[in-house]
Structure 1
Amino acid sequence: MNTPLSPDDIEHLARRRAGAKLGWYIHATVYLLVNLVWFMLWQFGPEFGLGARRWSIFPVLGWGLGLALHGISVFVLGNGSGLRERLVQKERERLQRGRGPGGT
């Protein structure tokens, strides 16, 4: 029941998917570079009191969670992923069954 995509549709979809993946790669690179600097400060920076350098773990973990969710949205749940396509197909079939003859 899938309608074939036109060459323009394929081009548009390919550019969107590539852009989403490139966005994640840039996000991951910035995450690694910034956290490398934080690690260097934590490891070799001045100590301002008992445990003062341990704060850096919180942004690392929080941002890491955000990066992981970004990756899931791009690579697992993104347009064209197998899981997303299966869910869309199931919804399409369910809606077509519910519509029946003469439905809108």
Structure 2
Amino acid sequence: MPKNKKQLASSDSDSGPDDRTPAKKSKSEGGSGSTTNAKGEDEWLLDKTRKITVSEFKSKLYVNVREYYEKDGKLLPSKKGISLTVPQWKKLLECADEVNAKIKTF
């Protein structure tokens, strides 16, 4: 059990100044909250500076959860993030109910 519960609730980041202007996005045709980025990939916005995308690299699919920063009016990907293979993503989803139950205990 963590010593300080307040640390868990914090989502502050030191990645730079806050983005005050939202990025321009086009609506995806069949999406539930998804948009399409400049590369033609579907993306889902978690908050102002965090996105989930699905991409292909070397013939493999990846689910990317990444933090972005603004430079010259553009949102650019930072080093902060993770790329999950499809089996890793499915395993994460399998754990979701247990994680949600644990969150309720705090």
Relative contact order higher in (CA < 8 Å, ≥ 6 apart): 1
Task: Give me the TM-score of the superposition, normalised by structure 2.
Answer: 0.27
In our comparison, the structure showing a higher alpha carbon Rg is 1
* Higher strand fraction (1 or 2): 2
Greater share of helix? 1
TM superposition score normalised by structure 1: 0.28
